[in-house]
Amino acid sequence: MWLTRGFVLSLMADDAVLIPVASQPSVSFSMTTEYKQSLGISDLELAQPNAKLTPGVNLLALQFSGSRTCPAERFVRLRREFGDQVETIEIDSASGNPHQISPMAYAVLTVHFVDSPEYPT
């Protein structure tokens, strides 16, 4: 979601979207508290009835724990906005993690993806 920002969230209400997935949902330059919590769509868009998930459909959100492009505050906001309709998966990228994932890792499904059953991506 690095390039798409809130695009995934905007598309959730579309019938063609079966399972929305936000991988490392990022908004550039997450330096302030406001940007760290930003979902990439306005509060007005988020408040629209069609911005919420349809019953039985969950949002899947993925991130590395040490990502500076997708800070922990963003996942806190996702859980606050979508409650039990969001499944967040945070992959340990702290120094000394068991899979030796770089603390700078950010792209869960692309650059830092490892196709192995023993690896957490």
Gap between the Cα atoms of 27 and 67, Å rounded = 12
> Is the overall model pTM greater than 0.85, yes or no?
no
pLDDT in tens, 79-119: 998 888 889 999 999 999 999 999 999 889 888 999 999 99
CB neighbourhood size of 50 (10 A):
10
pLDDT in tens, 47-81: 776 666 777 778 889 999 988 888 889 889 999 98
The helix or strand, by DSSP H or E, that contains position 81, with its residue range, turns out to be: helix 72-82
2: in domain = no
pLDDT in tens, 8-18: 777 776 778 77
Q: Give the range of the structural domain holding residue 38, as residue numbers without chain letter.
A: 7-91
Torsion of CA 26, 28, 33, 37, to 10 degrees: -20
Residue pair 59/31 in contact (Cβ under 8 Å)? The answer is no
53: in domain = yes
Number of domains in the chain: 1
